[in-house]
Structure 1
């Protein structure tokens, strides 16, 4: 047995300065020579007795003075450094953070002028970034981390895209090579280019860089204003970009400029809105904070409910037919406090209902704000409101804040006032007001704000931090959307899935939405499977829509089993394996079906859409369809699911293309997405054709959620009428 030392003895010191038996022992173990000796290589091992330098005067004497009692190890908080965090060691929860996580309330607002209160004001992306990116924290820290991680991920993706060769960027849809300049106004900077943007990822409102494509980071910025039906793209100068810089960029490109993806960084503004709500400074901010934290009780104002019922009766008397679910949504959105959700599946008239509700509230004298993530969604609601005013003969005071310049002529023709900023909007002394602005335009209307309510359109595509920009503008809110369709665009990886949810999905945990259950788009056969798979069997077509059928001008021949009008939805099963993003067999059959519809069956190109999850497959379909059609014939929409959301066509042909189990296992979340499948299957009015291989079902997802998504595809294969696509392709020939 070794020598027993007194408990309060001075610890022995090793030759290397470490304590005996502790770090010094580990250091000596690491420095052991290959031959088994301790110490430097080649040096003989010292005897065991010589390894430690003992004090010269044994026995050891205790320290003088008062000995401090040691704290029990269990009560001592261990601080985990970077290495500890990488190993998954949980950081200690200090009293303030522990209180927040336990539901004891938020941190009180810091005094004005203090360092804590000025943290976001001075350097929102540096000081706040270091704090927010640290794991742990409560609800508000998680939202802050979400914004900063999204910003960092977006910049990494953009730099990676810019580093790719131009040909690869164009092929991936991240750049457009214009064929030439159609119109150029050097005074306003308005630019119209001839270009084919059908294979690109860009949408109206996106920020792009214009130049020769060599170094997009150094090129001026423009905004895609509109896509013309004649193959033209209209652009506006970016914020603060003089037209002369755009003219120089066009000259450098030789008159054929390249449009690359740009960046709009609004993270500082979003962090500022988040800070205001988190601080709870003011009644409006406290109300929004309670709403976001779900600390409110749904209530209905009985007096307002009676008033809403009378308003609905007046609409019915004026020839506006409200279905039972639409009437219930109308009344509850009018009388619910503080928020009401309206879920509008495809074709259920969500925008139409919102326009009549807003018009009735404005005639009542309320000031209303209409907001959405995109300019197009805001303009759609305002155009619907202008149509209501024309039909009823009662004018509506409509204002649009900072629209796209390309949309201004139509807005003005419909009697909608256009202003460039929120400062030009004021509430009239008498009567109501309806103002349309995007989320970032609505940020200028923060507390106290001139509005009584805010209506969020397409609320299922708005993240919670983005919604804060407009929540502060009014004390009551109406959210219209459908969280069964595509949600917000997320580019970063987030360990907490709750921060990636939309504001619609977040609030429905507390407020049950009203489901609009009658679709005016899909006939009975097209509607059957989406209703069962996504809406619990509650979605039904109206009588008029249910009886609608695809009209054929002649006998489709071998394609009769696919184009049979009585089989509104059909699954064409092909035998192929190993394809990832492009399948020639499916592309050829999709082109044959489209050529039959556009040619002998005389279906207009604007009434047909061909959809695939992969751009490579869309390019393959377009190439084969051009070969089957006469020269110069108009092509239908051939695009991805994301680009076709919000649209509808008489007939839709879907090509899933992928049949590689390994690729499907890696991309389970993308390919087997329930929301993406819902959008894909609900675009058609009378004919839906899905081309797929049964090899899609042979994959084995890595997660339980992936298995649930795969089960939905199993249901689709079981429940949709099937046609043998391989035999059909053999009869059609090359």
Structure 2
């Protein structure tokens, strides 16, 4: 045990009535609870240990049995883990000393029933009925005696909070049999269910984390009237820190993953143990060192990418097919680096998104675990990929506004956490904004453009209602590979994700998250809206300045009518071109397919704009060259001519007029 765990054990043993052990994620709460129980047993005291779920109870049974404690598990054998079946009441009864006597009585009852069916005399039948009645009474007495003997011999009896009711085997014990009641995962249990076990002992020890998800309450009225408040929360609210000891050393998360939760939920008191503080995916056996496996934190921002959530009136849950494609690309990159699918968890807050993710990923990665946030509480994985789903122009985040749900999602990861979200939407909520700010400053930030090359930015701002719904201007017939689906969503059909590593220039690596990067999202002080900026622009502002200078010069030139940018632009540079053109009121469109995809910028008052934009795809040698490469000089006269023509086009020099067609005869 570490210092905080030892202090918690000593505190729990010394308290006369109530002791609360607050165990944040990965701090060894169950280990501490087991030690408390073992110390109580050493004092010759009897313990009733409960938890709200069978899984949590079975976990305690396994731990206690490994220390040779005399444990007894109440509950139906079908609901118990196979590894602990030997400790359940039915199994222990089957091997008890009185078992043979009970079996003999059952045989006598069966023989009496058989004789009664064959008997023709009423007197004989009546006598057999009386015999059966007496045998059944003896059977109950024998079984109860054997059960009482087993219950009293056990040092620790374990059951779910509802399984500890007086209608079950515990009714055979006197009211003062137990000395201590221990309730693990108390923050996830209804207070009403806790009171089933609490009256059975003069002292209780509660363990859990009220900063994680509370019990699920289906009735809104009941929740509003206090049913959603756990006993642990209520006691802390009434008695304060005087009844609580918090575990402060966590053994799960990389320090960079832990730090945000520590600051936001646990008063900055959490510390990462040295064995996990700097561990990364690349440290796992068989995992290669790549951009994905060398970083603990990654944010993929879909803001301004048009990857909106599905908007269906008859569907209460939410989905985002665009984020599904990004998640699929990241999972592919991790598995190609050698990370086992069984070591990865994909988590989403909405069941519809979970279904979309399973449909996309399960065939290729059958061992990959995909669950909702609520379904993954209490679990952990080496890598966690989190899809926040919400992306809309109203800034609605739904139940993402539940801070504890986000805390659970983030703290499931051990070595790597990837979050994909629309920062423009989620940052309308202060708690979510704190997560985005933290990932921006301490992790690596990428845009959806680096995973999908078929996107055109959606330029809208919350401060301008007229801007809502405005998209990149496209001339009629211009070949854009992004298509609308339900609710304005750019669905998976719009294009397959770029599997593996992104094509664009990545952010600078931060292996341990210790060195803070400059903020990768600029916040407008007036509107408080987020404007995503790639880390490539932070490293090299000259590219952005060069692009802005070219587009501005083109906009001011009265002669030039269009400007074409070559396919050599990376995804970040393409995003910059679209944004700059939008700011200057210019038409802008992507054309071409795959590696031949390029951007055309045109004047808004250009007549025949659609025809000219379309014809550009067939025009050779009229590309702008915003980022000339000094070490790759043209080798032929043809290449020199193409480069010269490219520079002239970038400067707005109109192409030479084509000779008129010959007159018809």
Alignment TM class, shorter chain as reference: 0.5 to 0.7
Counterpart-to-counterpart distance in 1, 2:87 and 2:354 = 37
Does the alignment pair 1:612 with 2:339? no
Q: 3-state DSSP class of the match of 1:369?
A: strand
Q: Is the Cα contact below 8 Å between 1:484 and 1:534 reproduced in 2?
A: yes
- Per the alignment, residue 8 of structure 2 pairs with 329
- Per the alignment, residue 47 of structure 2 pairs with 368
- Per the alignment, residue 410 of structure 2 pairs with 681
Counterpart-to-counterpart distance in 2, 1:615 and 1:626 = 15
Counterpart-to-counterpart distance in 2, 1:418 and 1:440 = 21
Q: 3-state DSSP class of the match of 1:546?
A: coil
Gaps in structure 1 of 5+ consecutive residues: 1-321, 390-395, 700-706
Moved more, 572-581 or 366-375: 572-581
Gaps in structure 2 of 5+ consecutive residues: 94-142, 311-317, 454-496, 500-665
Counting only pairs closer than 5 Å after superposition, residues 439-478 of structure 1 correspond to structure 2 as 439-444=161-166, 445=170, 448-478=175-205
Instruction: Return closer, same or farther for 1:457/1:419 CA change in 2, 3 Å cut-off.
Output: farther
Q: Is the Cα contact below 8 Å between 2:280 and 2:293 reproduced in 1?
A: no
- Per the alignment, residue 82 of structure 1 pairs with none
Counterpart-to-counterpart distance in 2, 1:674 and 1:589 = 24
Q: 3-state DSSP class of the match of 1:443?
A: coil
Q: Is the Cα contact below 8 Å between 2:281 and 2:287 reproduced in 1?
A: no
- Per the alignment, residue 78 of structure 2 pairs with 405
**1:428, CA displacement in angstroms?**
8.1
Q: Is the Cα contact below 8 Å between 2:212 and 2:408 reproduced in 1?
A: yes
Does the alignment pair 1:658 with 2:385? no
Once the two structures are superposed, what CA deviation does each residue of 1:219-270 show, in whole Å capped at 9, x if it has no partner? xxxxxxxxxxxxxxxxxxxxxxxxxxxxxxxxxxxxxxxxxxxxxxxxxxxx
Instruction: Return closer, same or farther for 1:418/1:626 CA change in 2, 3 Å cut-off.
Output: closer
Once the two structures are superposed, what CA deviation does each residue of 1:509-558 show, in whole Å capped at 9, x if it has no partner? 2152111111111121211111111111111111111132212757677x
- Per the alignment, residue 500 of structure 1 pairs with 228
Instruction: Return closer, same or farther for 1:720/1:572 CA change in 2, 3 Å cut-off.
Output: farther
Once the two structures are superposed, what CA deviation does each residue of 1:694-716 show, in whole Å capped at 9, x if it has no partner? 232364xxxxxxx5545544544
Counterpart-to-counterpart distance in 2, 1:489 and 1:373 = 12
Q: 3-state DSSP class of the match of 1:570?
A: strand
Instruction: Return closer, same or farther for 1:361/1:719 CA change in 2, 3 Å cut-off.
Output: same
Counting only pairs closer than 5 Å after superposition, residues 491-640 of structure 1 correspond to structure 2 as 491-494=218-221, 496=224, 498-509=226-237, 510-512=239-241, 513-551=244-282, 560=291, 563-565=292-294, 567-575=295-303, 576-577=305-306, 578-580=308-310, 581-598=318-335, 600-626=336-362, 629=364, 633-640=365-372
Counterpart-to-counterpart distance in 2, 1:448 and 1:416 = 20
Instruction: Return closer, same or farther for 1:570/1:416 CA change in 2, 3 Å cut-off.
Output: farther
Counterpart-to-counterpart distance in 2, 1:689 and 1:717 = 9
Counterpart-to-counterpart distance in 2, 1:327 and 1:385 = 18
Instruction: Return closer, same or farther for 1:595/1:334 CA change in 2, 3 Å cut-off.
Output: same
Does the alignment pair 1:345 with 2:24? yes
- Per the alignment, residue 173 of structure 1 pairs with none
Count, aligned residues: 387
Instruction: Return closer, same or farther for 1:425/1:340 CA change in 2, 3 Å cut-off.
Output: farther
Counting only pairs closer than 5 Å after superposition, residues 215-364 of structure 1 correspond to structure 2 as 322-364=1-43
**1:403, CA displacement in angstroms?**
3.9
Counterpart-to-counterpart distance in 1, 2:207 and 2:34 = 12
Counting only pairs closer than 5 Å after superposition, residues 52-67 of structure 1 correspond to structure 2 as none
Counterpart-to-counterpart distance in 1, 2:353 and 2:184 = 32
Q: Is the Cα contact below 8 Å between 1:366 and 1:432 reproduced in 2?
A: no
**1:492, CA displacement in angstroms?**
1.2
Counterpart-to-counterpart distance in 2, 1:499 and 1:546 = 38
Instruction: Return closer, same or farther for 1:663/1:470 CA change in 2, 3 Å cut-off.
Output: farther
Counterpart-to-counterpart distance in 2, 1:733 and 1:545 = 32
Counterpart-to-counterpart distance in 2, 1:554 and 1:335 = 47
Once the two structures are superposed, what CA deviation does each residue of 1:679-729 show, in whole Å capped at 9, x if it has no partner? 100111100100111232364xxxxxxx55455445445544242222311
Q: Is the Cα contact below 8 Å between 1:340 and 1:511 reproduced in 2?
A: no
- Per the alignment, residue 632 of structure 2 pairs with none
Counterpart-to-counterpart distance in 1, 2:188 and 2:362 = 35
Q: Give the TM-score taking structure 2 as reference length.
A: 0.54
Counterpart-to-counterpart distance in 2, 1:531 and 1:544 = 18
Q: Is the Cα contact below 8 Å between 2:57 and 2:158 reproduced in 1?
A: yes
CA RMSD of aligned residues (A): 2.9
Q: Give the TM-score taking structure 1 as reference length.
A: 0.49
Counterpart-to-counterpart distance in 2, 1:612 and 1:688 = 13
Q: Is the Cα contact below 8 Å between 2:34 and 2:63 reproduced in 1?
A: yes
Q: Is the Cα contact below 8 Å between 2:394 and 2:425 reproduced in 1?
A: no
Instruction: Return closer, same or farther for 1:384/1:497 CA change in 2, 3 Å cut-off.
Output: same
Instruction: Return closer, same or farther for 1:491/1:428 CA change in 2, 3 Å cut-off.
Output: closer
- Per the alignment, residue 498 of structure 2 pairs with 733
Q: Is the Cα contact below 8 Å between 2:293 and 2:334 reproduced in 1?
A: no
Q: Is the Cα contact below 8 Å between 2:329 and 2:498 reproduced in 1?
A: no
Counterpart-to-counterpart distance in 1, 2:15 and 2:86 = 35
Counterpart-to-counterpart distance in 2, 1:601 and 1:709 = 33
Q: Is the Cα contact below 8 Å between 1:364 and 1:432 reproduced in 2?
A: no
Once the two structures are superposed, what CA deviation does each residue of 1:302-352 show, in whole Å capped at 9, x if it has no partner? xxxxxxxxxxxxxxxxxxxx2111011100111102010001111111111
**1:438, CA displacement in angstroms?**
1.0
Q: Which structure has the greater CA radius of gyration? A: 2
Q: Is the Cα contact below 8 Å between 2:77 and 2:88 reproduced in 1?
A: no
**1:467, CA displacement in angstroms?**
1.2
Does the alignment pair 1:672 with 2:370? no
Counterpart-to-counterpart distance in 2, 1:423 and 1:718 = 65
Q: Is the Cα contact below 8 Å between 2:71 and 2:87 reproduced in 1?
A: no
Counting only pairs closer than 5 Å after superposition, residues 67-146 of structure 1 correspond to structure 2 as none
Q: 3-state DSSP class of the match of 1:489?
A: coil
**1:388, CA displacement in angstroms?**
2.2
